[in-house]
Structure 1
Amino acid sequence: MSKLLNALIFLFIFSPLWAENSSPNIVWIFSDDHTQKAIGAYGSILKSVNPTPNLDRLAKEGMLFERSYVANSICAPSRATLLTGKHSHINGKVDNMGPFNHDQQQFQKILQKNGYQTAMIGKIHLAGKMQGFDYWEVLPGQGSYYNPDFITENGKTSYTGYVADIVTEKSIDWLKNKRDKEKPFMLMVHHKGTHRTWMGAPRHVGLYDDVTLPQPSNLFDDYKGRGTAANKQDMSLKITMRHAGDLKIRNEAEKKEWTEKFSKMKGKPRGEHGAYYRMNDEQRKIWDASYDPRNDKFYAQNIEKGSDEWIRWAYQRYVKDYLRTAKSIDDCVGEVMDYLEKAGLEENTIVIYGSDQGFYLGEHGWFDKRFMYEESFSTPLIAKWPGQTKPGSRNSDLVQNIDYAETFLDMAGVEAPKDMQGESLVPLLKGENPANWRKHLYYHYYEYPHGSHSVRRHEGVTGKRFKLIRFYGIDVPNGEEWEFFDLKNDPDEMQSQYSNPEYAAEIAKLKKELQNLRDKYEVVEVPQKPKKKRK
């Protein structure tokens, strides 16, 4: 009898600990437009400047996914997919303009109903009141790099400081002071960076000044090997980049003009020029001390816009600014990991890092995303799961952002609804090799002609070696164009082989697989309307 009593006492005392260990905490750090090629652990040409020491540390302590992709490479639709585990045509968020139905099923609502405390801090880019969170404080729309506003259940609040730092501080404060420490938690730490217009924190504005970044081999791509979409896009360093907003080139006359304009505005200015004028005097002093001498040097060189010299200069300015915003995110990763260790939460907390899509850092002469080409189709995914994931491991299976919702639920021991369209990554994180893991991915981009950068609508299918893309609809010759790439022999996707008879059999296979995936994901036609002309 005494043995039974002792066993019951032991269970009573230690069952909360067992329950905690059986329900791991999850910290999901997320960014905007952060390409794999800007993370050292992925091994790109930018690795030499050590852009992300803390993310590299996370990769050493966890698993890096080499073939991580998105379903629709644009901000708001990607985030809708993350929450719902469904493709854009199912969750209803196909582009950045339309509304998002918050009433629909989302993974955090399911976690909340199953005993998890949920929190969302930072950028979500889905207008409307958040649901399924015990605590949420989010940026309105794109948010601002400097002195941002945040929205909660109780309305809007303005803060002084740099956005990544504020998101990090709020997240750690929630961990310390606001959560119910009797419950497991899912904390979403979501950043504005590395989104356009790439404005680094005051401490980082001079970072990389003494470095000449290596250039991608296809910086001067002429698009001869591809069709209408690549040739007619509007996202090039050569033509599209804006002087003031993107490249931070402002002479004294321009500064005076915009100062006068924003002094007449009510509230805080927004937009490409407005971000600079949200700064307070101290912030602007640091900014000007760094950028003014560089801009003076630029003007003295009298570089002709659109020339090769211009493109090289724009590449250096743009990518350095981009990496400066990424540096603050990397700082956040380090701070959060250090806090978890200090607070004794490290061993029972999964830390995941990702981004809503990839981005072009001069490849093909571009910036932005949208295309199914590798740079924007791929996205970083790194996860540390103590006791489950082998430190320093890498996975080469095809994974996609439709998988995240199911993965979080599986981590929590909760069954995912049957109508979610992804697969749990838990077996992969545990080092297993499921025999039935997918061999192909489906992609669909919808935002044309109403979106930015004139990227035509397209859908496609890819395996590990071959990729097939179908461009269709308005402003595509004959309503349809195809591209096919052999990623083994042409990893930079410089030459479509669609008309090459040597690939006819592979093209036929992928066309069949494209239809299979359309059927599997219940793809429906989303109406495409011509863009209205301004009167």
Structure 2
Amino acid sequence: MTALLSNRKSERNAVRISLPTLRTILLSIFLLPFFHCLSAQSKKKPRNIIFILTDDHRYDYMGFTGKVPWLETPNMDRLASEGAYLPNAFVTTSLCSPSRASILTGQFSHTHTIVDNQAPNPGNLTYFPQYLQKAGYQTSFFGKWHMGSHTDEPRPGFDHWESFFGQGVYYNPQLNINGERIQYKDSTYITDLLTEHAVDWLKNRKKDKPFFMYLSHKAVHAEFQPARRHKGKYKEKQIQLPPTYDQTKTGAWRDLKWPEWVAKQRVSWHGVDYMYHSNIDMQELVQAYCETLLGVDESVGKVMNYLESEGLDDSTLIIYMGDNGFSWGEHGLIDKRHFYEESVKVPLLVRCPDLFSGGIEPNAMVQNIDIAPTILAEAGVKQPQEMPGVSFVPILTGENPAGNRNEIYYEYYWENDFPMTPTMFGMRTDKYKYIRYQGIWDRNELYDLENDPNEMYNLIGDPSKQDTIKSMLKSLYTWLETTSGMQIPLKSMDRPSFGDFKHRGEY
């Protein structure tokens, strides 16, 4: 600096060099308010979001899929035609409580440790609506919680709360509304009641705040009970039995290399020859299931109609999903828990015309652990590190149509109350599915999904597939190791006796 002051030429050069910098500084000072305003205008506005969850809704049991030609679901059809249907949506565990916990926490079952329908909340979980509350959202919950315990008490993350004990009942329910229990009578139907209350909350919400609503239906869980107006609508209707229905009866399962536990399940609680320990006809169960689903479809329509009446239908993100799939005779099984397609796949419908054009059906794989990241992203909330999922909105907008997943992983832990299904871990790609069983002396499974979509021919012993099996096994254990899943989270607790299940409605 002393040399510059003593040398005029250098001083003039120094001044000349600094003038552009001075101009930049002055320009920045004058334009700073403008840029601040521009930045504020371009900042993403928190989006109103509605999440609708159903129980045991199979991924392809909707009118527009054509799976059941006589099934009518006009409002779900509308969600698909004006939005998106993701046919490759999966849960990480096909069971109510573990799946619901994965949705709410964005974590795998072995991470949140709610591994079955009896396991309690460990006390250290954060639900994604809690992040929405902190971001200024008004939040509400309506319906079945059934995760972490059977109590109906209000849970963190919700400004407004309406729920019931455990599985609940279809008719004349009791609701815990913000801590006050109210008993409903006169044949009040649970699907209609929850919908009515949900729409009322939307009408009376604070208009100056974004909203998130979680509408969680009891339907279509067994024992299936439709609304009276729908009862008998599908009487005498029949579904086509799946190609794998009779193999465990004829003995063909041995030639197809199926595990023995699958064959033995045929005459069990989850088998087609002794369903729920009764002799009811499966077709009659399917009829009641589809009739019960009609009330859910009407619920979707009423929510959409309200949004349309308020001019919110284009800007609101609606996500419709099932908590797990459901088998109707595949491999001689009913219900869920196993890793076959109809059990692990769930319906996933998404609509938001402001975000993406409707009528799309992307093949990308998504999982229930992606729900929380998707909702948080659209709310402008940073995704917590403990959530391994990703937002699936880029799949819908075309920004990343193939998605982020080349595979999905699965886990299910043996239940004391339902010992027929063993602990299992699995991996699925677009091409193959690998299933590995734990704690039983039985055969593992590998299916070529491209050439065998019905999962009929187990290729686990095929010499040409051994490199594929080794690679998938390595990937499976790498996933478990890197996500702290190399242990079975055992739970010590009192459980209801098996004979109490039908009475308590917890099966």
Band the TM-score falls in, shorter-chain normalisation: 0.7 to 0.9
Q: Contact between 1:81 and 1:402, CA under 8 Å: does it hold in 2?
A: yes
Mark the CA change 1:436 to 1:392 in structure 2 (over 3 Å): closer, same or farther.
closer
Alpha-carbon separation, structure 1, partners of 2:123 and 2:178: 15
Moved more, 321-330 or 434-443: 434-443
Q: Which of 418, 423, 427 is the matching residue for 1:457?
A: 423
> Which residue type is aligned with residue 362 of structure 2?
N
**Number of residues of Structure 1 aligned to a counterpart in Structure 2:** 447
Residue 230 of structure 2: aligned partner: 204
For 1:29 and 1:20, the matched residues in 2 are separated by: 28
**Aligned residue in 2 for 1:388:** 355
Match of 2:16 in 1: none
State the distance in 2 between where 1:210 and 1:441 align: 38
Q: Gaps spanning 5+ residues in structure 2: where?
A: 1-29, 499-507
Matches within 5 A, 1:202-351: 202-222=228-248, 223-224=253-254, 225=256, 226-233=258-265, 234=268, 235-243=270-278, 247=280, 314-351=281-318
Cα deviation for residue 458 of structure 1 reads 0.3
Aligned to 1:257: none
* CA positional deviation for 1:434: 6.4
For 1:357, the aligned partner's letter is N
What SS does the corresponding residue of 2:444 show, helix, strand or coil? strand
Give the distance between the partners of 2:87 and 2:322, measured in 1 at CA. Answer: 14
User: Equivalent residue for 1:151?
Assistant: 176
Give the secondary structure class of the aligned counterpart of 1:36.
Answer: coil
Instruction: Quickly say closer, same or farther: Cα 1:415–1:214, change in 2 above 3 A.
Output: same
Deviates further, 101-110 or 506-515: 101-110
Bigger Cα Rg: 2
Q: CA deviation at 1:174?
A: 0.5
Say which of 426, 445, 452 aligns to 1:483: 445
Higher relative contact order (CA 8 A, sep 6+): 1
Contact 1:24/1:412 (8 A) holds in 2: yes
- Which digits, 9 at most, give the CA deviation of each residue in 1:302-340, with x for residues without a partner? xxxxxxxxxxxx122010000011111011111111111
Percent of pairs identical after alignment?
A: 37
Query: Counterpart in 1 of 2:432?
Result: 466
1:81 CA drift (Å): 0.5
**Distance (whole Å) between structure 2 residues aligned to residue 91 and residue 529 of structure 1:** 13
Conserved 8 A contact 1:94-1:447? no
From the superposition, tell whether residues 436 and 228 of structure 1 become closer, same or farther in structure 2 (CA, over 3 Å). Answer: same
CA deviations 1:68-124 (Å, max 9, x no partner) are 000010001110110000011111201111111455222100011001111000111
CA distance in structure 1 between the partners assigned to 2:325 and 2:401 by the alignment: 27
**Using a 3 Å threshold, how does the CA distance of structure 1 residues 183 and 94 change in structure 2: closer, same or farther?**
same
| Distance in structure 1 (CA, Å) of the matches to 2:215 and 2:403 | 33
Code of the residue aligned with 1:92 in structure 2: it is: T
**Residues 73 and 370, structure 1, Cα contact 8 Å, conserved in 2:** yes
CA distance in 2, matches of 1:404, 1:493: 28
State the alpha-carbon separation in 2 of the partners of residues 373 and 210 from structure 1. 28
SS at match of 2:328: coil
Aligned counterparts of 2:398 and 2:53: Cα–Cα separation in 1: 23
Distance 1:176 1:351 in 2: 17
Question: Aligned-pair RMSD on alpha carbons?
Answer: 2.6
Residues of 2 paired with 1:152 and 1:484: CA distance?
Answer: 48
Q: Pick from 52, 56, 62: which aligns with 1:29?
A: 52
2:145 is the alignment partner of 1:116: no
Unaligned runs of 5+ in 1: 248-313
CA–CA distance in 2 between the matches of 1:27 and 1:441?
Answer: 26
Q: Tell me, in whole angstroms, the C-alpha distance in 1 between the residues paired with 2:365 and 2:303.
A: 28
Corresponding residue for residue 502 of structure 1: 464
Q: Tell me, yes or no, if the aligned pair for 2:138 and 2:209 is still in contact at 8 Å.
A: yes
Residues 113 and 489 of structure 2 are in contact (CA less than 8 Å); yes or no, is this contact kept in structure 1? no
Stretch moving more, 99-108 or 509-518: 99-108
Alpha-carbon distance in structure 1 between the residues aligned to 2:373 and 2:358: 23
TM-score by length of 2: 0.83
1:299 maps to none
Deviation at 1:54, TM superposition (A): 1.0
